[in-house]
Amino acid sequence: MEAAAAASSPMLVLVVLSAALLVFHIGLQGMLATKELGSAWNAGPRDDAREPAGKLAGRAARASANYRETYPAFVALALAIVIAGDPTGWGLVGACLWFVARLVYLPLYLAGVPYIRSFVWLVALAGLAVMAGALIV
C-alpha cells in the first residue's frame, strides 16, 4: 500500500480515536480516584496500596482494565488490515463495530447496567472477530 494512501486510511483514524479513548479511560479513572483519595495520594508514590472504595471510581478502574484487555488485539488487527492493503472492507466494518461498542460500554459500566453492558462487550468482541476474518479470507 502506498504511504499516502495508508496515512489517509479510515482504519488509522480509528486507531487514533481508540488511543484517545484509552487516554480518556485513564484520565477518568485517575480523576475519580483523586477525587476520592485526594491530590496528595495522586502526587505521591502510592506505597500504601490504597484503592478507591467508591462505586464510581471502582467502576471506572474496572472499565479501563477491560478496555486495555482488548485494545492490543484491536491495534494489531487494525494495523495488519492496513498493511494487507484493504482498510475499507469488512475489516473497517469490524473496527467500527469494536470502537462504537467500546464507546457505548463505558457509560453502561459507569451506570452499573447489567446484561446490556455484557451484550455490548460481546458486540465489541464480534467486531474483533470480523476484523480477524477479513484478514484470513
3-state secondary structure string, 53-100?
Answer: CCHHHHHHHHHHHHHHHHHHHHHHHHHHHHHHCCCCCHHHHHHHHHHH
Domains: count for the chain: 1
Q: Is residue 135 scored above 60 in pLDDT?
A: yes
Q: What is the pLDDT of residue 109?
A: 98
- Total Cβ atoms within 10 A of residue 78: 25
- Kindly report the number of other CB atoms within 10 A of residue 134's CB atom: 21
pLDDT at 88 (0 to 100): 77
pLDDT band at residue 4 using 50, 70 and 90 as cut-offs: low
CATH number, residue 46: 1.20.120.550
What is the rounded average pLDDT of the residues 118-133?
Answer: 98
pLDDT digits (tens, 9 = 90+) for 55-80: 999 999 999 999 999 999 999 999 99
Find the domain containing 102 and state its range: 3-136
